[in-house]
Amino acid sequence: MTVEPENRPVTPEDEPSPQPEKKGSKRKSLIESALLLLGGVLVALLLRLIVLDSFAIPSESMENTLINGDRVFVNKLSGTPDRGDVVVFKGWDGEDTIKRVIAVGGDTVKCCDAQGRITVNGVPLDEKAYLHPDDFPSGEKFEKVVPKGRLWVMGDHRSASADSRTHEEQEGEGTISEKAVIGRAFAIYWPFSRVGLLSTSETFTKLR
């Protein structure tokens, strides 16, 4: 009887031969990948429909905060608009429009005080942070008590903006309904050179 040595070197013949990949396993992997891709697309669509929207700036009325051609993300679940928010809404002509909220329901908004500043409830606004550097708060004088559930909105480039001042003869005396607001613009995502967040100016914190 021959006894095999305990430490016999392993030869290629001793190695287990690789098992061929089963066709069913490959098909299962492809199906799972397709389902993951489909799930990602569905999540993106749901976000687009329910949470996020996109808006292309169509004019110079919000310069220099936003310039013609900028694209912004819009939060559709941002809640009730507040003073200082940049909002997208169904405008007076039915078109999607973007402006800054200056006053909300119950506020008295007026132009202008002795220094040429817009006031809200008697408090002057320091608008240097967002007002177009070659512009002024308003070329027209006005004084409005904003009805409940409505907003007084203005562009940051006042002399180039058709906003609440321009539509005083319409329903709400130029104000827009809170229900017309699609959402709050919170970030520029295009072009890449202008990517950044849109913040609310500190001047509006004095009114809260």
d(C-alpha 167, C-alpha 174), whole Å: 4
- What are the catalytic residues? 61, 99
Q: What is the pLDDT of residue 40?
A: 66
Global pTM value: 0.78
Query: Consecutive 10-residue runs of the chain (208 residues): their mean pLDDT?
Result: 53 55 69 72 62 93 97 94 97 96 98 96 96 95 97 98 95 95 97 95 88
Would residue 25 be called left, alpha or beta, if left means φ above 0 and alpha means ψ between -120 and 50 degrees?
alpha
Residues near 155 by beta carbon (within 8 Å), at least 6 away in sequence: 61, 62, 99, 100, 161, 162, 163
Q: What is the pLDDT of residue 47?
A: 62
DSSP, res 51: I
Q: What is the pLDDT of residue 21?
A: 52
Q: What is the pLDDT of residue 11?
A: 56
Maximum alpha-carbon separation in the chain: 118
β-pair partners for 101: 153
